[in-house]
Chain A
Amino acid sequence: MPDAPVLEVRGLTVEYLTDAGPVRAVERFDLDILPGEFVGVVGESGCGKSTMLFGIAQLLSPPARVSEGSVRFRGHDLVTMTDRQLATTRWRDLSVVMQSAMNALNPVAQLGDQFADAMRAHGERSRATIRQRAEEVLALVGIDLVHLKSYPHQLSGGMRQRAMIAMALLFNPDLVIMDEPTSALDVVAQRSLMLQVKQLQQQLGFAVLFVTHDMSLVSHFSDRLVVMYAAKAVEIGSTKEIFANPGHPYTEGLLDAFPSIRGPRLPLTGIPGSPPNLLHPPVGCRFAPRCPKRFEMCDVEPPFYDAGTSRAACHLHALADKKVVQ
């Protein structure tokens, strides 16, 4: 029997309360993450992927709130936890790396102090231990120890992002949630950072939930892939298989929007149209209005079909007599 999942998300729904009524930015989202697994989440800007992450980490701020669903982390539901219970689990077992390293560090505190306050918040009192651990994690990401005394503005973007990752590893967490940690970096820095994350992950064994809009980035690093469109997951499966054989027309569209380096030169097609307004989402399949393969069944909301190597929410698989799962 495989290990129990470290994270089980069931039916997670996040709503933004707006003047025009509640907008569902994440709708009935399911996800399991096994210990040590690297799960990538891709989708266009505004598809709800970052909201989903913060919904899992319970870091939403009003007007966003989790309206339904559960997030079981190591067996306990984070959604129903009190702030105090959350505070003990946070960082020790579940840490977060934010999108913009520029703004995720407190600009008026030295790096070392920002490491220390996290450790003190979890009961570590000894200055020597704090200092030693801070030095260990900085060494892990290859940042010179003098920077414990540095302020965030004195570091480059790449260094700040690595410092964030170092901070996320202070307690050897079971799961690190990363919200587009590389989007502010150039491609070279992106790659070296990702290699480092991957290496640390193999070394320390934490699981990663990684959100990005960059398909080529996840293709190299993630074990499993979740494709999101208009607040919903549309395809879930092994990254390799999805790249080789996408089960959803939206995934196909995303893949066609990126050039292949070694393959034949093909014109990039991209996806026509724009994502729907989530205040009034389309009835049935949300991708149907932009889908080149739509047909009559698309007026009904598609369930997940077993598309062989992945699970995909597209009625095309019904035509191929694939089974509905879950």
Chain B
Amino acid sequence: MRYLLRRLAFFVLTLWAAMTVNFALPRLMPGDPASAMMARFHGRVNPEAIHALEVAFGVDTHQSLWAQYGSYLGNTATGNFGISLTYFPLPVSTEIAQALPWTLGLIGVATVMAFLAGTFIGTVSGWRRGGVVDSVVPPVFVVTSALPYFWVGMVLILLFSVMTNGLLPNDGAYDITMTPSLTPAFIGNVVQHAILPAATILITSIGGWILTMRNNMVTVLAEDYVRMGRAKGLSNRRIMYQYAARNALLPNLTGFAMSLGFVVSGAILVEYVFNYPGLGYMLLNAVNNLDYPLMQALFLMITVAVLVAVLLCDFVTALLDPRTRGA
């Protein structure tokens, strides 16, 4: 329990530090959103309008830094991230709320699948070290994990969309002629659109999980307690999962938490290649358009997501590894 409380306190502290950095960074940069906005309208804005914009964006430079900091913390806590420049005059929070489900659905599911499948394949190939699975699967996936995301994406589009007369869609999250609803037809359409980008992520990220899990397994299998399991006459299945894989999994949890955290940033290149309306695509647009409020909100979300994922990982580790609990 003390362990969890300590992790929680650490989480709050890191979150505060991240928010502060997020507050300071744009203010250290030259220019501000209001001037950027004015530049977009080629200076055809009167001073009152600029002031109104400054207030809207929360960059009212007439306030003291402390007052700005205070209202920033308050706004962030209430989810008020200001107005987007790219999608003016929509609030940033509305924009993010629209893109978030797509990224969580696509990248999140693909990341979890890659971890689960990679861990399973790694377990089996480590257990049957030198067997058929072990000699073929890890080398193949090591090669695929070294390929760039966007290149795999383009090859998949070429193979399954262009050369096969649009067997699978390669653009967007759903057919834009359909109205989003919870009908089987629409859900099927969404899944169809997700196949290629999800496959891209799977192909490029599964290799890492296979390789690390396999190596952890090989190390753990040399441990005395595995031999002990055999000496006790336990079934191979039980030794493989309860004795070997159960222990081999622990070092991979942190890496998994990190990759879960980065789900929120979206696989920018994958979303870009597939025109997927997720957060990664949005982040790219925000940077291109100098959309500071949107960027700031996205950066903060990425940070928070990583922190939450690491916190969750700490909890899960405590659950799975009794040795961490006492500390």
Residues of chain A whose beta carbon lies under 8 Å from any beta carbon of chain B: 54, 57, 59, 61, 83, 86-92, 95-96, 98-100, 103-110, 117-118, 121-122, 151, 153-154, 167
Contact = CB atoms under 8 A, between A and B. Distances in A.
Contacts of B31: none
A108 B247 contact: yes
B231 A106 contact: no
Given A108-B320, A121-B232, A151-B322, A99 B224 contact: yes
Contacts of A103: 223-225
B126 to A, nearest CB: 13
A108 B321 contact: yes
Contacts of B323: 107, 151, 153
17 contacts: A59-B227, A87-B235, A91-B231, A91-B233, A98-B224, A99-B224, A104-B224, A106-B247, A107-B225, A107-B247, A108-B247, A109-B242, A110-B322, A118-B234, A121-B234, A121-B238, A154-B326
Interface of B: 221-225, 227-236, 238, 242-243, 246-247, 250, 320-323, 326
B246 A108 contact: yes
B232 A104 contact: no
B243 A106 contact: yes
Given A107-B247, A121-B238, A153 B322 contact: yes
Nearest to B322: A151
Contacts of A104: 224-225, 227-228
Contacts of A90: 230-233
B238 to A, nearest CB: 7
Contacts of A100: 224
A57 B231 contact: yes
Nearest to A58: B230
B233 A98 contact: no
Contacts of A108: 246-247, 250, 320-322
A89 B231 CA distance: 10
Contacts of B326: 153-154
Given A98-B224, A99-B224, A104-B224, A122 B233 contact: yes
A100 B227 CA distance: 12
Contacts of B322: 107-108, 110, 151, 153-154
Given A87-B234, A104-B228, A117-B238, 11 more contacts: A59-B230, A61-B221, A86-B233, A90-B230, A95-B232, A104-B227, A105-B228, A107-B322, A117-B234, A122-B233, A154-B326
Contact of A118 (B222, B233, B242): B233
Nearest to B244: A106
Contacts of A95: 231-232
B232 A118 contact: yes
Contacts of B232: 90-91, 95, 117-118, 121, 167
Q: Counting chain A CB atoms within 10 Å of each CB, which of B221, B234, B236 scores highest?
A: B234
A7 B71 CA distance: 81
A89 B232 CA distance: 9
A108 B226 CA distance: 12
A109 B225 CA distance: 11
B206 to A, nearest CB: 25
Nearest to A96: B231
B232 to A, nearest CB: 4
Given A108-B321, A109-B242, A121 B233 contact: yes
Nearest to B231: A96
B229 A98 contact: no
Contacts of A91: 231-233
A109 B229 CA distance: 12
